[in-house]
Structure 1
Amino acid sequence: MRLLHTADWHLGRLFHNLSLLDDQRYVLDQLVDIIDREAVDAVLIAGDIYDRSVPPASAVALLDDVLTALCSERNLPVVMISGNHDSAQRLGFGARHLRQAGLHILSDLRDCDQPVTLSANGVEVDVFGIPYADPEYVRSQLSVDVRDFDGAHRYLVERINARRHSARPTVLMSHCFVDGGSASDSERPLTLGGAESVAWEPMQAFDYVALGHLHGPQYRGGEHIRYSGSLLKYSFSEARQRKGVTLVDIDASGVTGIEHLPLAPRRDVRVLEGELDALIDQGRTDADADDYLLVRLTDRHAILDPMGKLREVYPNVLHLEKPGMLEGRGQQTLDRERLKFSALDMFSDFFTQTSGEPMSDEQAQAISELIGELGRDQEAGQ
């Protein structure tokens, strides 16, 4: 049997206030192509289907299109669990009726020990799902005394272990933060204070563990305990990650192969660094100038409208940083005299760029005196 493991679709996501729905549709079309090309027998989606608990109608329509292509047109079983971005109740609406169509939505924590049994090519595999649930929810729903994420997750895994069929391979799906995993900026923290991680050791005995939540493809404790990663790069901290899906081959004896297959985005997410003029020259011949960009300018002088100038060659610059302006300033401990010179330099650059000619000595002297007066007034008011 061949399974496709994917997670963290985040349908309806905004990236610096820009909708990524078309980008998501683009890679989901590739996902369907991979399913056809690789003769996949079932699809596992390990949570964060949507980006928020009440998704926009366009995101719901996109999910409906993909599930129709898989369940109705290809007759493929799909197993999904809810993540911390999803509303478990909304995602699970109609779950009992949809099983007949091959769509298994595991969002009710009370049913986590009830497996979905998949069958293909003479192989049967049990799939158990642990939807995202914080310890307070586990405690209230199952009347068990658990106080942290790890304790709650251990309890649920033990509950599943008690129901495993000894003669069939078993897959566990879970949306959680496994201890030691590599996080990125776009993942919403599960809790404050750093007590959100769960141990991988209780999951070791499963034939495969399909994880969701962390956006970078990785494994913990063993290659079979694995995050497939998100569909797209959802923050600039993910710029170097290889996004994709995971193929898992499994027979009656267990897992026989695991392979990560890449997805090619409509527009990549990149970080560019350099001086403004050099970046503009580079952009004129950059074949991927439409990528989503964070730009770090190393220029040490003030520049008028750098974003507008960059967007003439890189239309999708989404964020601009100016580390060059902070260099040489002694860790933000400038004295008053150096601050005055810096302000004068910045105003001088601004004057030159707006008027087309440098300030005269008299103008520079007047501005210098004004800056000094403002500095003295500020000190007097402290």
Structure 2
Amino acid sequence: MRLLHTADWHLGRLFHNLSLLDDQRYVLDQLIDIIDREAVDAVLIAGDIYDRSVPPASAVALLDDVLRALCSERNLPVVMISGNHDSAQRLGFGARHLRQAGLHILSDLADIERPVTLSANGVEVDVFGIPYADPEYVRSQLGVDVRDFDSAHRHLVECINTKRHPTRPTVLMSHCFVDGGSASDSERPLTLGGAESVAWEPMQSFDYVALGHLHGPQCRGGEHIRYSGSLLKYSFSEASQRKGVTLVDIDEQGVRHIEHRPLTPRLDVRILEGELDSLIAQGLGDPHADDYLLVRLTDRHAILDPMGKLREVYPNVLHLEKPGMLESRGRQQLDRERLRFSALDMFSDFFAQTSGEAMTDEQAEAMNELISQLNRDEETR
């Protein structure tokens, strides 16, 4: 049996206020092509189907198109779990009726002990799903005393372990932050304070663990415990990541082969760095000038409308940084510190810059008296 593991579609995502729906449709067409070309028997989607709990109608329509192509036109079973960006209740609407069509939506903790049994080419595989659930929700729904993400996740895995078939290969799907995983800027924190990670050790005994939440393809604790990564680069911190899907071959004895298959975006996400004139000259011959760009200008002098000039050759510059100017200002600040201005001199300079005129003698005298009084108060403390 060949499974395709994917996650973190984030349908309806905005990137610097720019809709990515056309980009998502472009790579989802590639995903369907991979399914056809590689004779995939079932699809696993490990959460964050949508980018927000109430997705736009266009995102819902795109998901409907993809699921129709998979379940109705190709008769492929699809198993999906809800992620922290999804509304579990909204995503799970009609789940009991949709099972007959081959769409299995696992978004209710009450169903975690009930596997989806996939069958293809004489092989049967049980798939269990743990939708995203914070400790408070697990505690209230299941009546167990769990206080953090790790203890909640361990409890859910233990519940599943008691229901595993003794001989049938078992796949676990979970939307979580596995300890030691490499995160990026576009992933919404699961909680404040950093206590959101879960251990990989309780999942070690499963034949394959299809994870969602982290956007970079990676493994934790073994090749069979892995994140497929997101469909697209959703932040500039992901610019170097190779996006794609994971193919998993499994038989009666367990996993036989795991392979990452890349997806090619309609427009890439890149970071360019250099002086303005050099970047403009480079852009004139850049075959991928329409990519989504973050530009870091190294010029150390002021430039009039650098964004406008860059967009003449790179129309999709979405963010501009000026580290060269910051370095220049830093040196100016050091020079000012070397002058060892008195407090009155520094205030006089500030007054002149903000008001546009120099302080009068009376104002200077009043400020000098105030500074002297503050100094005396400081010395007596």
The alpha carbon displacement at 1:370 in A equals 6.1
- Structure 1 position 299 matched with structure 2 position 302: no
Q: Which residue pairs with 1:86 in the alignment? A: 86
- Structure 1 position 269 matched with structure 2 position 295: no
**1:149–1:314 Cα change, 3 Å:** same
CA deviation map 1:351-378 (0-9, x unaligned): xxxxxxxxxxxxxxxxxx9649759769
- Once residues 373 and 203 of structure 1 are traced to their aligned partners in structure 2, the CA distance between those partners, rounded to angstroms, is 65
- What code does the residue aligned with 2:324 have? G
Q: Which residue pairs with 1:30 in the alignment? A: 30
- Once residues 279 and 267 of structure 1 are traced to their aligned partners in structure 2, the CA distance between those partners, rounded to angstroms, is 19
DSSP 3-state at the match of 1:245: strand
Q: Which residue pairs with 1:365 in the alignment? A: none
Q: Which residue pairs with 1:151 in the alignment? A: 151
Q: Which residue pairs with 2:204 in the alignment? A: 204
Q: Which residue pairs with 1:69 in the alignment? A: 69
Q: Which residue pairs with 2:379 in the alignment? A: none
- Once residues 313 and 71 of structure 2 are traced to their aligned partners in structure 1, the CA distance between those partners, rounded to angstroms, is 43
The alpha carbon displacement at 1:105 in A equals 0.0
Q: Which residue pairs with 2:115 in the alignment? A: 115
CA deviation map 1:300-329 (0-9, x unaligned): 001010000000000000000000001154
**1:186–1:331 Cα change, 3 Å:** farther
- What code does the residue aligned with 2:181 have? G
Q: Which residue pairs with 1:99 in the alignment? A: 99
Q: Which residue pairs with 2:377 in the alignment? A: none
Alignment of 1:1-382 (within 5 A): 1-330=1-330, 333-334=333-334, 336=336, 371=353, 374=356
Indicate conservation of the 8 Å contact 2:300/2:328, yes or no: no
- What code does the residue aligned with 2:259 have? E
- What code does the residue aligned with 2:86 have? D
DSSP 3-state at the match of 2:214: coil
**Gaps spanning 5+ residues in structure 2: where?**
340-350, 372-381
- Once residues 231 and 221 of structure 1 are traced to their aligned partners in structure 2, the CA distance between those partners, rounded to angstroms, is 23
The alpha carbon displacement at 1:20 in A equals 0.1
Indicate conservation of the 8 Å contact 2:47/2:82, yes or no: yes
Moved more, 108-117 or 69-78: 108-117
Question: Identity of aligned pairs, percent?
Answer: 87
- What code does the residue aligned with 1:35 have? I
- Once residues 65 and 332 of structure 1 are traced to their aligned partners in structure 2, the CA distance between those partners, rounded to angstroms, is 58
Indicate conservation of the 8 Å contact 2:95/2:104, yes or no: yes
The alpha carbon displacement at 1:167 in A equals 1.1
TM-score norm. by structure 1 comes to 0.89
- Once residues 277 and 164 of structure 2 are traced to their aligned partners in structure 1, the CA distance between those partners, rounded to angstroms, is 63
**1:107–1:243 Cα change, 3 Å:** same
- Once residues 332 and 174 of structure 1 are traced to their aligned partners in structure 2, the CA distance between those partners, rounded to angstroms, is 52
**1:337–1:226 Cα change, 3 Å:** closer
TM-score norm. by structure 2 comes to 0.89
- Once residues 302 and 28 of structure 1 are traced to their aligned partners in structure 2, the CA distance between those partners, rounded to angstroms, is 43
- Once residues 132 and 261 of structure 1 are traced to their aligned partners in structure 2, the CA distance between those partners, rounded to angstroms, is 26
DSSP 3-state at the match of 1:326: helix
Moved more, 172-181 or 321-330: 321-330
**Gaps spanning 5+ residues in structure 1: where?**
340-368
CA deviation map 1:7-58 (0-9, x unaligned): 0000000000000000000000000000000000000000000000000000
- Once residues 147 and 371 of structure 1 are traced to their aligned partners in structure 2, the CA distance between those partners, rounded to angstroms, is 54
- What code does the residue aligned with 2:103 have? L
**1:309–1:45 Cα change, 3 Å:** same
Indicate conservation of the 8 Å contact 2:352/2:358, yes or no: no
